Amino acid sequence: MSKKELRQAWRWFGPNDPVSLQDVKQAGAVGIVTALHHVPHGEVWTYEEIMERKNLIEASGLTWDVVESVTIHEEIKTRTGDCEAWIEKYKTSLRNLAQAGLKIITYNFMPVNDWTRTSLDYEMPDGSKALYFNWVDLAVFDIHILQRNNAAAAYPSDVVAQAKERFASYTQEQCDQLAGTVMFGIPGEKKITVESMREKLKRYDHINADVLRSNLVHFLQRITPLCDELGLQLAIHPDDPPYDILGLPRIVKNMDDVRFILQSVPNKSNGVCFCTGSFGAHPGNDLPAMAREIGTRIHFAHLRNTKRDAEGNFFEDDHLAGDTDMYAVMKELLILQQTLPESIPFRPDHGHQMIDDLKKVTNPGYSCIGRLRGLAELRGLQLGILRNT
């Protein structure tokens, strides 16, 4: 009997993505990971719009494997205002996705900001460009540009001193660029301003990690019975980076956090998007051990690698380089895969801007050639492990 492989997928941001569906096919992926990014956060995804996107994907010879993501409204995260009405809208979207035959739903519970970096074009030794996170630059943004109340207290004194010196050396153009990078968000979605971020942060003035965890559990308790009934698989994405930032609590950073989420809401639909880049940016996370413990609750995987320095800054390295032992992680995922009836989809998460893509306008982290390289490396790694076990 042949051994089961993970399913090769590719994130695509819709018809305006510079990487076409034809490009995706040539890269070797068979499934698409996408969302209706034009729908405002929290509003209903109609069955008609879902099917329009699905039909477009299938017309190219690909399949829509994973929804990433159905974004959660901030009033659900804060459990304020029209929270219950937003949850009902979310449930309507889930019903419509299930009706369209979509089963894996990725989401995150990061307050205000999604993934956060301080540079989108960090130059690698080979001349390619990578995404980068630097604590001093984040402090420059937080203390001097955003001017969050008491922001300096969140950083070590040496970082505060370096941020003051660096801010003094930055031009207005550099400050604007840094702010735009920190607040970049998801390609295709509306950008926020410094002023709007200040307003959004105010909603979390009295929300600590315990309150945010409680709000997540409330949300999951309200939607998982429906997901169980519909046969959906929820996959929470870890925090990126896996640290409290901008005064906001992060509650999906490590195995303790994941264990709490899975034990608090044990429904079979409640699961994890195993992102090796997000979990791997924290030195305390043992990713192969995490994959073993989470086991069948891994509903989807993002495979990428990061390289940290002594201060905790990190850049996104080649998929088979960096601090995460990708061989060991892939081996654990493949051991798990042999126990499951359906293939776990994975995608090569992010990639360096390289070769001809250096001359093109691309979505940061989502240019074609860097991900093509990553997918090829990961496919080869998978085949090598399967042939030798």
Percent of the chain with pLDDT over 70: 100
The domain in which residue 157 lies consists of 119-196
Q: Is 163 left (phi over 0), alpha (psi -120 to 50) or beta?
A: alpha
Q: How confident is the model at residue 187 (pLDDT cuts 50, 70, 90)?
A: confident
pLDDT, tens digit, for every residue of 246-257?
999 999 999 999
Residue among 237, 299, 319, 352 flagged as catalytic: 237
Active site includes 350? yes
Pair (178, 78) in one structural domain: no
For 288, list phi and psi in degrees, rounded to 5. Answer: -60, -40
Is 99 domain-assigned? Answer: yes
pLDDT, tens digit, for every residue of 101-152?
999 999 999 999 889 999 999 999 999 999 999 999 999 999 999 999 999 9
Pair (313, 167) in one structural domain: no
Is 59 domain-assigned? Answer: yes
| Mean pLDDT on 64-82 | 97
Q: How confident is the model at residue 191 (pLDDT cuts 50, 70, 90)?
A: confident
The two tokens of residue 32 are 């698409």
Residue among 299, 319, 350, 352 flagged as catalytic: 350
pLDDT, tens digit, for every residue of 39-59?
999 999 999 999 999 999 999
**How would DSSP label each residue in 328-363?**
HHHHHHHHHHTT-SSPPEEEE----B-GGGGGS---
pLDDT at 1 over 60: no
Pair (173, 311) in one structural domain: no
The two tokens of residue 96 are 């419509």
Active site includes 302? yes
Is 290 domain-assigned? Answer: yes
Q: Mark which of 196, 212, 231 sits at the end of a domain.
A: 196
Pair (230, 336) in one structural domain: yes
Say how far apart CA 209 and CA 248 lie, in whole Å. Answer: 8
For 105, list phi and psi in degrees, rounded to 5. Answer: -120, 110
The CA-CA-CA angle for residues 175, 176, 179, to 5°, reads: 85
Q: How confident is the model at residue 63 (pLDDT cuts 50, 70, 90)?
A: very high
Pair (81, 218) in one structural domain: yes
Mean per-residue pLDDT of the chain? 97
pLDDT value of residue 250? 96
* Number of structural domains the chain divides into: 2
pLDDT, tens digit, for every residue of 310-321?
999 999 999 999
Is 1 domain-assigned? Answer: no
Q: Mark which of 196, 224, 240 sits at the end of a domain.
A: 196
pLDDT value of residue 188? 73
pLDDT, tens digit, for every residue of 342-383?
999 999 999 999 999 999 999 999 999 999 999 999 999 999
- Cα dihedral 249, 254, 260, 266 in deg (nearest 10): 120
pLDDT value of residue 185? 84
Active site includes 205? no
34: which strand partners? 67
DSSP 357: G
Pair (275, 374) in one structural domain: yes
pLDDT value of residue 277? 98
Pair (234, 340) in one structural domain: yes
pLDDT at 186 over 90: no
Residue among 73, 302, 319, 352 flagged as catalytic: 302
Active site includes 319? no
Say how far apart CA 275 and CA 277 lie, in whole Å. Answer: 5
306: which strand partners? 316
pLDDT value of residue 321? 97
Say how far apart CA 38 and CA 347 lie, in whole Å. Answer: 22
Say how far apart CA 156 and CA 243 lie, in whole Å. Answer: 14
Q: Is 92 left (phi over 0), alpha (psi -120 to 50) or beta?
A: alpha
Residue among 83, 273, 275, 368 flagged as catalytic: 275
Q: Mark which of 173, 196, 219 sits at the end of a domain.
A: 196
Q: Please give the single-letter amino acid code of residue 245.
A: I
For the beta carbon of residue 125, count every other beta carbon within 10 angstroms: 5
pLDDT at 201 over 90: yes
pLDDT value of residue 267? 98
pLDDT value of residue 190? 79
pLDDT, tens digit, for every residue of 219-237?
999 999 999 999 999 999 9
Say how far apart CA 62 and CA 24 lie, in whole Å. Answer: 9
CATH number at residue 307: 3.20.20.150
Pair (221, 342) in one structural domain: yes
Say how far apart CA 357 and CA 365 lie, in whole Å. Answer: 11
pLDDT at 173 over 60: yes
Pair (285, 313) in one structural domain: yes
Pair (223, 325) in one structural domain: yes
Q: H or E segment at 306?
A: strand 305-308
Pair (290, 191) in one structural domain: no
The CA-CA-CA angle for residues 238, 243, 248, to 5°, reads: 95
Residue among 240, 317, 349, 357 flagged as catalytic: 349
Residue among 227, 257, 366, 368 flagged as catalytic: 366
Beta strands at 129-133 and 314-317: parallel, antiparallel or unpaired: antiparallel
Is 164 domain-assigned? Answer: yes
Is 256 domain-assigned? Answer: yes
